[in-house]
A and B are shown apart, each in its own frame.
Chain A
Amino acid sequence: MVTQSDAPICSPETAIEALQSEDNQIRYYAAWWLGKHQVQSAGVPLCEALADEAYRTPQGGYPLRRQAARALGQLKNPQATPALIEALNCEEDLQLRAAAIEALGAIGDDRAVPHLVALLQSGKEQPLEALIEALGSLQVWSVRSHIESFLNHASERVQCAAARYLYLLTQEPQYIERIVRNLSHDNAYLRWSAAFDLGAIGHLSAAKAIQEAKIANSLKLLNLKRILTAALESETETAAEKQKKCRVLMQSIDELLIQL
Chain B
Amino acid sequence: MMNYINLTSPDGVEDSRIAGLIAQLRRAAVPPEAIAVIQDLRAAGTPAVIQPLIEVLSHHHPSVPAAAVEALVQLESAAVEPLIAAFRTSGDQGVQAYIIQALARIGDARALDLLVEVVGVSVANHCQGNVRRVAARGLGRIGCNSPENVAACVAKLSWALLSAEDWALRYAAAVSLAEIGTAEAQAALQQALSPESDVVVQARIQTALEQLTGEKKPGFCDGLGI
Q: Enumerate chain A interface residues (CB-CB to B < 8 A).
A: 217-218, 221, 225, 228-229, 231-233, 239, 242-243, 246-247, 250-251, 253-254, 257-260
Contacts and interface: CB of A to CB of B under 8 A. Distances in A.
A196 B226 CA distance: 27
A242 B199 contact: no
A228 B203 contact: yes
Given A253-B171, A257-B171, A232 B200 contact: yes
Nearest to B206: A246
A221 B134 CA distance: 13
29 contacts: A218-B129, A228-B200, A228-B203, A229-B199, A232-B199, A232-B200, A232-B203, A233-B199, A239-B222, A243-B220, A246-B221, A247-B221, A247-B224, A250-B203, A250-B207, A250-B224, A253-B204, A257-B134, A257-B137, A257-B171, A257-B172, A258-B104, A258-B137, A259-B101, A260-B97, A260-B101, A260-B130, A260-B131, A260-B134
Interface in B192-226: 199-200, 203-204, 207, 220-224, 226
Given A243-B222, A250-B203, 13 more contacts: A221-B168, A231-B220, A232-B203, A243-B221, A246-B203, A246-B220, A250-B207, A253-B171, A253-B204, A257-B168, A257-B172, A258-B104, A259-B134
Given A232-B199, A258-B134, A246 B223 contact: no
A218 B128 CA distance: 11
List 8 tightest A-B contacts by C-beta distance, closest first: A246-B221, A258-B137, A257-B172, A242-B220, A232-B199, A247-B224, A228-B200, A257-B137
B47 to A, nearest CB: 24
A39 B131 CA distance: 30
- Majority SS of interface residues in chain B? helix
A251 B130 CA distance: 18
Contacts of B203: 228, 232, 246, 250
Contacts of B171: 253, 257
Contacts, number: 67
B101 A246 contact: no
B42 interface: no
Residue among A218, A253, A260 with the highest chain B CB neighbour number at 10 A = A260
B87 interface: no
Nearest to A234: B220
A238 to B, nearest CB: 11
Interface of B: 97-98, 101, 104-105, 129-131, 133-134, 136-138, 167-168, 171-172, 175, 199-200, 203-204, 207, 220-224, 226
A231 B220 CA distance: 9
A225 B172 CA distance: 13
A257 B133 CA distance: 7
B82 to A, nearest CB: 20
A250 B98 CA distance: 24
A218 B220 contact: no
Nearest to A217: B130
A254 B175 contact: yes
B16 to A, nearest CB: 35
